Structure formats: structure tokens, C-alpha cells
Amino acid sequence: MAKKSPFLSCVLDLLSEQDGISSRAMFGGHGIYRQGVMFALIAADVLYFKADEQTRADFERVGSRPFTYQQKNRKQPVELSYWEAPPEAFERAAVMVEWATAAQAAAVRAKKPKQRAAKPRNKPTPRRASQSRSRGNK
């Protein structure tokens, strides 16, 4: 399990103005959450924000790269929709919060609605002849 690193503490401090920020250790790094939605991850002391089609160009414009990892049985690395935080985000808390807010919005957009389990339908019971007659139907 990953221990709370000085880097994680720095990120959490920069995000402290936002309510509901939390972190959880995962896969040797940390997931960063706001109000239960994971919007960032830290791996090897690098912060990555959630991106989508609406925000990916912003990350590309500042020279960020996506988070990738090598899966055992694959030749090509796996690329996730988390992109490296720009260096400017570490210079001022307000800039970090802007990127985090956009990342949380992307995470919310990406969250798929949970499919509800189909309720078993009550099959209509065939009417008995006696029920039909009692209602005036013959």
C-alpha cells in the first residue's frame, strides 16, 4: 500500500480550498477524489488529471502527456484518459484549482449511469371464469 508522500501532501495542500477533497492509495499511487468522484491520480510523483474530448486540447496545448502503463500481455502501452498536470498548476493554488475543476467536470461527464437491474414484471394472471362473471362480464 502506498504511503502518504510529500508530493501527495503538496497536491492536497494546493487543493485545500475545495471542499470534499480526499485521496486513496491505489496500485502504488493515489487516486484524488472530490465528492466521491475520482478526477486525478498520482503515480511515481506525477499528477495526472482526468481529461475528455472537451478538455484534451487544453492538455495538449501545454505540452502534457497522457498517463500510460505497460500491461503484461500487451505489446503496446495502455493509455488512460488522465493527462499530466502542467507545471503552472504547482505555482499557484488558484491555477491548480482551475485544472482540478475542469478534471472533475470531465470525470462527471465520463461517469456512466448505472444500469438498474430489471425488475421482474408481474405476469398478469389469467382471469377465472368466476372473476369475469362477478364483474358483469359473461
Least Cα distance to 81 among 59, 63, 62 occurs for: 59
74 located within any domain: yes
Q: Does residue 49 contact residue 99 with C-beta atoms inside 8 Å?
A: yes
102 located within any domain: yes
The pLDDT assigned to 74 comes to 81
pLDDT in tens, 79-131: 899 999 999 999 999 999 999 999 999 999 998 665 555 555 565 555 655 55
Reported for 34-38, long-range contacts at CB under 8 A and 24+ positions apart, including other chains, are 34/100, 34/104, 37/104, 37/107, 37/108, 37/111, 38/107
Q: Which residue has the higher pLDDT, 77 or 136?
A: 77
The pLDDT assigned to 75 comes to 84
128 located within any domain: no
Least Cα distance to 106 among 53, 41, 32, 68 occurs for: 53
Give me the number of domains the chain comprises: 1
43 located within any domain: yes
- The helix (H) or strand (E) run that includes residue 10 is helix 6-14
121 located within any domain: no
CATH of residue 55:
3.30.1460.30
133 located within any domain: no
pTM metric for this prediction? 0.77
